[in-house]
Chain A
Amino acid sequence: MMLSRMKPAVGPGAATGPSKETSKKKKFPKYEDFLDIRDYTGAITLLEFNRASGKGNDETDMWIAYCAFHLGDYKRAMEEYVRLTQKKNCVPDMWSYLACCYFFLGMYPEAKTAVDKGPKSRLQNRVLFHLAHKFNEERQLMGFHQNLQDIIEDQLSLAAIHYLRSHYQEAIDIYKRILLDNRDYLALNVYVALCYYKLDYYDVSQEVLAVYLQTFSDSAVALNLKACNHFRLYNGKAAEAELKSLQEMASPSFIFARDLIKHNLVVFRGGEGALQVLPPLIDVIPEARLNLVIYYLKQDDINEAYNLVRDLEPTTPQEYILKGVVNASMGQEQGSREHLKIAQQYFQLVGGSASECDTIPGRQCMASCFFLLKQFEDVLIYFNSVKSYFYNDDAFNFDYAQAKAAVGNFKEAEEVFLLIQSDKMKNDYTYLSWLARTYIMNRKPRLAWELYLKMETSGESFSLLQLIANDCYKMGQFYHAAKAFDVLERLDPNPEYWEGKRGACVGVFQLIIAGHEQREMLRDVINMLRNTSNPQVEYIIRTMKKWAKDNMVPVP
C-alpha cells in the first residue's frame, strides 16, 4: 500500500491491453480458488485464458481488473477500467474504481475527474477525502471528513489520513476501538504496528505485528515492517535477514512491494546500490528522495543533495531535518549566512516541536541550532542528553568537542577530540586549530607543536603557528611560543613576530630562573634569538649568558 506516491506512473498514451482472441471455450479450475488464497496472478492467468478462449465477457474483465488491483498492478487494473468505462452500458461504479486505480498510480487529477463521474457512494467520499489530503485542500478535507460515517471502512480510511498526517495516536485509537468489537480483524494489528513504528516504539510494534505474522507468515507488508523494526532495534544485517526470508518464501512472480523491498535493501545495506535503485523511486516511495539526499551527504556531495531538497516543501520531521542539514552543510561550505540562517530555523523548528523535542534527532537539531547561534552552553545541554548514542560518531564528537572547548572545558574537549577517527576530519583546520588550543590550555604545548609539524606548509599551517605562538604565550608556555614565533618571523619578517619571540625567549629565561623549565633550554633560546638580526639580540643574549655563567649553565 503506497498512498504517498507522487510521481504519476503512467503518462498519456499508455500501452494497450492484451489483444483479445477468439477461440474455443471451456473452463476448468475456478478463479475463486485462486482468490481465496490471494493468488491473483493465478486468477488473472486463468481469467485471461478464458478470455482468450473466447469465453470472456464484461464480468471477466471486471474480475481481471479486481485481481490486478489487489495484486498491486494498478496500471493493469486501470487499463481494464478505462476500457470498461468506455463501453456504452458502463456500470457507473466503474468510474469510482478507475479513480481508485488513478489514485494509487499517483495520477490525482485524473482520479478526481473519474471519481466525479462515479455514483455518490461511501467509496466516492473516501476517495475525495484522500484526494483533498493530496491536494492540501484543508477545507474540502474537513467537508469530506464530515461525510464519513461510523462504519468500519470509513473509520479506517480516516485512520489512514491520521497516519499520513503523522497523527499516529489518533490512528491507533481508531484501530483499537474497532479491534475491541472485531477480534478477527487481524490486519488491524499490522496497522497499529505501523503506527507504533512511526512513533519509534519499535518493540511494541514488533509485539503487535507478531499477532498477525502468526497467522500470515508470508505477508510482505508485515515482514517488511518487521525488517524495519529490526533495522531500528538492531542493525541493517538483522533487517536484511528478514527481507531475505521473504524473498525466499515468495515465488518469482511475486512482484508486490518489489519497489519497497528494493528500496529497503539499499537502506539496510548502508546505501549500497543507492544510485542505481533510488533515483527511479523518487516520488514513488517518499523515503527514496530523502535516502538519496542522505547518501549524497554521506558522500560529501553537498550540491547533489542540495539539488534534491531545494524544491522540497518539507512536511515530515525527516524532511525538515534534511533541509536543515543540507543548508547547514551548504552554508559552511560556501560561507553563506543565508543558508546557515535557514538551517538554524529548520533545526529550531524540529527541535522545538512537540513530537520531536524528545527524540534523538530532535535533540541533535536543537544542539545544531544553538551551535549555529554559537550558544555553546545550550549546545552542551542537548549534546549531553544524547551523547551516549554517539560515542563513536565522528561528526558528533567533532561538534561536541568544539562546544566543550568553546565553554572552556578543555579537559573533556581533548578527550572527545581524540575519539575522532576520520582522517578527513582530523585534517580539517577547525579540528587542528581547536585541538591545538585545547592542548595548550591543557598544558601540552608539545602536542600542539606536533600538530603543526605534521601539516603541509600552507595558509592554514601559518594560521596554526600564530595560534600556537599566541596561545602558548598567553599561557606562559614560552618555549613553544618562542619556537612558533621563530618560524613565523622567518616566514614573515614582521616586527610583531620579533616582539613575540623576544618576549617568549625572555619568558623561557624567566621560567628557567624560576626553576620551571630545564636550564638546557637556554641554549635553544639563544640560538633562536640569534636567528634575528636586531641590535637588541646581543643585549639580551649578553644578559642571559651572564646569568648562565653565574649559574653554571653551559651555553653556546
Chain B
Amino acid sequence: MADDSDEERSAAKIHQNQPYDESLEVPDAEEIASTYSPTPRVPNPAARARQTLQQPGRGMSRGDSPPRSDLSDGSDDDDDDDFEEMKTPTVAKAPSVRPAQQQQPGQQQYNSEDDDDEEGSDSTEDDDEDDVHVEGAYDPAEYDNLPVSPEIKELFQYITRYTPQSIELEHKLKPFIPDFIPAVGDIDAFLKISRPDGKPDTLGLTVLDEPCAKQSDPTVLDLQLRAISKQTMAKQLIVKSLDNAEKNPKHVENWIESIRDLHRSKPPPNVHYSKNMPDIDTLMQEWPPEFEDLLKEIGLPSAELDCDLGQYVEIICGLLDIPIYKNSPQRNEKIQALHVLFTLYSEFRNSQHFQALAEDNKLDNDLKNDDYGGGGMGDEDRLVL
C-alpha cells in the first residue's frame, strides 16, 4: 500500500509541477494544483520509476496549504512509511520531466479518493523543490557526502521527513493619508453688483474685488460722525465688545488708540472756569423784544469802535450777558469770558435748529446776520479774525 501510494504521488506530482517549475507564485500554483491534483494511481511502472527518481531534484514551486494536511496525515501514517519515501530522494537527481508531462491528459482522468494522501505527499515534495529555488534554502543534497555512519545518515532523513509549511502572510496596505489641503478660494466669476450710480467699476480687474485690510472700526467711525455732526440721534450707539480680549491685546490697544484720537480731535470737553459762568442755554435765550428792535436800528458795535481790544471784549461780553470777573488770580478773566463767548458761538453755529431759523428769518424778514444771537455771532466772527 505504502509503495503504491508513493508511486501514485510521484505520478501526480510530475505533471502538476511542471508548469510551475520555475515560478514561485504560490497562490496561483495552489489553485492549479487543486484542479489538476487528482492524478494518482498510475499503474505505469516506467513513469513511477522516473518520478521517484525525480523527486528530490525537481523544482517545485507550489509550496502551500496542502502540506498541512499531509503533515497530519503523515503523522499517523508513521515513520517507516515516510522513511521509505525519504530514502528514494537521496538516490538520484531528477532527469527530464517531459515524459510525465505528456502523460498529463491521461492522468488527469484519474480522480481518486486518495486525494488527501496524495495531495499531501505532493506538496511535501513541492516544498522540497521550493527550497531549491529559494535562494539559500536548505538543500539536503549538499550534505549527502558527509562522512557519517549509516545510523546518522538514517537520522538525517528525519530532516526531509518534515515538510515545512509555506505560510501565506497577509499583506496590509497602510493607505497613504494625503496632506491637509489648504483652501485658496475661487476665482472671481463676475457675478457682481455694479455701482448704483452707474459709474464704471474696475473691481476684479485692476484690483481684486475684496475689501482692503484696513477697514474702519464702525463703532469708532460712528462716534466720530456723531462728534462731527454734533447730532444727538435716537439711533442707539452700538456698544462694541471684544471676544477673548485677553488674547487680543492688539484689538484693545487699537480701540484705546482710536478713542484717544477721537477725543483729541474734539475740542476739550470742558474748561474749568475759576468763577461760575452762566450756562450756554441761558445765554441762548432770546433778548427782550425792545432790545431786538433797537439792535435792528443801530446794530452791534463793530470792531471799528475806537477802543482797545480789551475794552471791546468787555463791551461785547456785556451785551451777551457774559460776566468778566475782575481780579482772578491768573489775570485771565477775559480769556475765560471769551471762551464762554466762543462756546456760545459754536453752539449757535452747529445748531440745526437755529440755522434753520436763521435761514427762515432771512427769507421772511430780509434780515441780515443780525437777528437773535446770529447777529452777534457775525460780529464775533469778525472779532475773532
Does A416 make an interface contact (CB < 8 A)? no
In the complex, residue of chain B having the shortest beta-carbon distance to the beta carbon of A316 = B181
Interface residues on B, range: 35 or more
Does A177 make an interface contact (CB < 8 A)? no
Does B305 make an interface contact (CB < 8 A)? no
Closest chain-B Cβ to A230's Cβ sits at a distance in Å of 10
Does A349 make an interface contact (CB < 8 A)? no
Say yes or no: A219-B208 contact (C-beta < 8 A), given A49-B225, A250-B213.
yes
Does B207 make an interface contact (CB < 8 A)? yes
Chain B contact residues, majority secondary structure:
loop
For this complex, 23 residue pairs linking A to B, each with C-beta atoms less than 8 Å apart, are A1-B188, A23-B233, A25-B352, A45-B222, A52-B233, A66-B193, A66-B196, A194-B185, A228-B183, A228-B184, A251-B217, A252-B254, A266-B180, A291-B180, A328-B173, A328-B175, A470-B164, A471-B167, A495-B72, A496-B68, A496-B71, A496-B75, A510-B156
Q: How many residues on the A side are at the interface (Cβ–Cβ under 8 A)? A: 170
Say yes or no: A260-B75 contact (C-beta < 8 A), given A23-B234, A37-B212, A509-B155.
no
Closest chain-A Cβ to B169's Cβ sits at a distance in Å of 5
The answer to whether A343 touches B175, judged by C-beta atoms less than 8 angstroms apart, is: yes
Which residues of A are found within 8 Å of B221, using beta-carbon distances? 41-42, 45-46
Say yes or no: A62-B196 contact (C-beta < 8 A), given A23-B235, A42-B216, A475-B136.
yes
Closest chain-B Cβ to A175's Cβ sits at a distance in Å of 9
The answer to whether A430 touches B171, judged by C-beta atoms less than 8 angstroms apart, is: yes
Does B374 make an interface contact (CB < 8 A)? no
Tell me which residues from 162 to 219 in chain B have a Cβ below 8 Å from any Cβ of chain A. Answer: 162, 164-167, 169-196, 203-218
Of the listed residues B174, B185, B225, B242, the one surrounded by the most CB atoms of chain A closer than 10 A to its CB is B174
Closest chain-B Cβ to A515's Cβ sits at a distance in Å of 10
Q: Mark A466-504, 1 if CB is under 8 A from B, else 0.
A: 110111011110100100000000000001100110111
Does A329 make an interface contact (CB < 8 A)? yes
Say yes or no: A185-B206 contact (C-beta < 8 A), given A40-B215, A260-B185.
yes
Q: Mark A167-188, 1 if CB is under 8 A from B, else 0.
A: 0000100000000001011111
Which residues of B are found within 8 Å of A103, using beta-carbon distances? 191
Of the listed residues B149, B188, B218, the one surrounded by the most CB atoms of chain A closer than 10 A to its CB is B188
Q: Mark B215-254, 1 if CB is under 8 A from A, else 0.
A: 1111001100110110101110000001000001011001
Does B286 make an interface contact (CB < 8 A)? no
Question: Beyond the given A395-B177, A398-B172, could you list 15 further A-B residue pairs with CB under 8 A, ordered by the A residue number?
Answer: A4-B186, A23-B234, A28-B228, A66-B195, A97-B193, A156-B204, A159-B187, A160-B187, A164-B186, A248-B250, A251-B215, A263-B182, A287-B182, A396-B176, A430-B170
Does B385 make an interface contact (CB < 8 A)? no
In the complex, residue of chain B having the shortest beta-carbon distance to the beta carbon of A44 = B218
The answer to whether A368 touches B176, judged by C-beta atoms less than 8 angstroms apart, is: yes
The answer to whether A473 touches B174, judged by C-beta atoms less than 8 angstroms apart, is: no
Partner-binding segment picked from A6-14, A319-327, A448-456:
A319-327
In the complex, residue of chain A having the shortest beta-carbon distance to the beta carbon of B214 = A251
Closest chain-A Cβ to B88's Cβ sits at a distance in Å of 17
Say yes or no: A186-B155 contact (C-beta < 8 A), given A253-B216, A428-B172, A437-B169.
no
Does B31 make an interface contact (CB < 8 A)? no
Q: Which of B159, B162, B191, B215 interacts with A510 by CB under 8 Å?
A: B159
The answer to whether A329 touches B175, judged by C-beta atoms less than 8 angstroms apart, is: yes
Does A100 make an interface contact (CB < 8 A)? yes
The answer to whether B146 touches A160, judged by C-beta atoms less than 8 angstroms apart, is: no
The answer to whether B180 touches A267, judged by C-beta atoms less than 8 angstroms apart, is: yes
Closest chain-B Cβ to A511's Cβ sits at a distance in Å of 8
Q: Which of B134, B172, B248, B352 interacts with A332 by CB under 8 Å?
A: B172
In the complex, residue of chain B having the shortest beta-carbon distance to the beta carbon of A23 = B233
In the complex, residue of chain B having the shortest beta-carbon distance to the beta carbon of A261 = B183
Which residues of B are found within 8 Å of A510, using beta-carbon distances? 143, 146, 156, 159
In the complex, residue of chain A having the shortest beta-carbon distance to the beta carbon of B72 = A496
The answer to whether B254 touches A187, judged by C-beta atoms less than 8 angstroms apart, is: no
Q: Which of A194, A475, A546 interacts with B184 by CB under 8 Å?
A: A194
In the complex, residue of chain B having the shortest beta-carbon distance to the beta carbon of A406 = B171
Closest chain-A Cβ to B13's Cβ sits at a distance in Å of 18
Alpha-carbon separation in the docked complex, A299 to B254 (Å) = 40
Alpha-carbon separation in the docked complex, A130 to B134 (Å) = 63
The answer to whether B72 touches A514, judged by C-beta atoms less than 8 angstroms apart, is: no
Does A380 make an interface contact (CB < 8 A)? no
Closest chain-A Cβ to B260's Cβ sits at a distance in Å of 16
In the complex, residue of chain A having the shortest beta-carbon distance to the beta carbon of B74 = A499
The answer to whether B210 touches A38, judged by C-beta atoms less than 8 angstroms apart, is: yes
Which residues of B are found within 8 Å of A371, using beta-carbon distances? 171, 173
Say yes or no: A45-B190 contact (C-beta < 8 A), given A268-B182, A475-B134.
no
